[in-house]
Structure 1
Amino acid sequence: MKIKVKKVGEHVDDLKSIPVVRPIVCRTEIQPRGGIYLKQSADQIRGFRVQKMSQDKYKLVYFNARGRAEPIRFLFVALDIPFEDLRVGKTEWQELKHRTPSKKLPYLEITSASGRAICYDESMAIARMVARRHNLMGTTDEEYYRVERLIGQCADIDQLFYQIHLASSKHEAGRLTTNFISKKAPELLELIAQSLKASGGPYVLGDRPSFGDLLLLTTLDHVADIDFRLLRRPCFVTHREAVFRMFPKLPEYLSKRPTTVL
Structure 2
Amino acid sequence: MRPSRLWRAPAVQALLIQLLALLPLAALAIVLDTAGRGLTLLTAALLQGGLALLITWRLGLAPWWRPIQLLFPVAVLAASALGLPPVLYLLPFLFLLALYWSTFRTQVPYYPSHAAVWRAVAAELPPGRALKLVDIGSGLGGMTLHLARQRPDCDCLGIELAPLPWLVARLRAALSGSRARFVRGDYERLDLARFDMVFAYLSPAAMPALWQKAKREMRQGSLLISYEFEIPYCEADKTIVTTEGGPPLFVWVI
The TM-score range, normalised by the shorter chain, is under 0.3
The two structures have a TM-score, normalised by structure 2, of: 0.28
Question: RCO (CA 8 Å, sep 6+): is it higher in 1 or 2?
Answer: 1
